[in-house]
Structure 1
């Protein structure tokens, strides 16, 4: 398959983590855990081209997706903060 297929929730999460500057708060291992814990709470929403998603998702749906990311990220962040890794 030569098409690039992406999960829109991964993009939203990456943007949100960057906007919140969580890379300054967590180390690489914690960030990886944060992404996994967050994405495991969210459904998949695949697309091939960004225009595809824009054409087939309403503004209300896009807003709801961002809210889902925000809530899942908060839960994941709280979990990581309350359960530090033991090396």
Structure 2
């Protein structure tokens, strides 16, 4: 295992969950990938090594806040990407 594979950003999982919750039939993979990039660039990094550690040490209110921020940024990113699509 390389060092690159040893850590993850917790927000990636939350943003993916928010994208799944807001997915529309017309969404393409390219569009959703751009949405994910824009949303993650607007959120702080929250790195962890083991997901069980993240879930154990994360307070319920903090997790709720992180989920809300992720959803808000995905919604904003959807608008941003839609408005800036190349033709």
Instruction: Report the TM-score when normalising by structure 2.
Output: 0.84
Deviations 1:9-59 (A, max 9, x none): 00111122123324x332222112111100000001111111111221100
Partner residue in 1 for 2:49: 48
The RMSD of aligned alpha carbons is: 1.7
Unmatched 5+ stretches in structure 2:
none
Instruction: Report the TM-score when normalising by structure 1.
Output: 0.84
Matches within 5 A, 1:5-84: 5-22=7-24, 24-84=25-85
Unmatched 5+ stretches in structure 1:
none
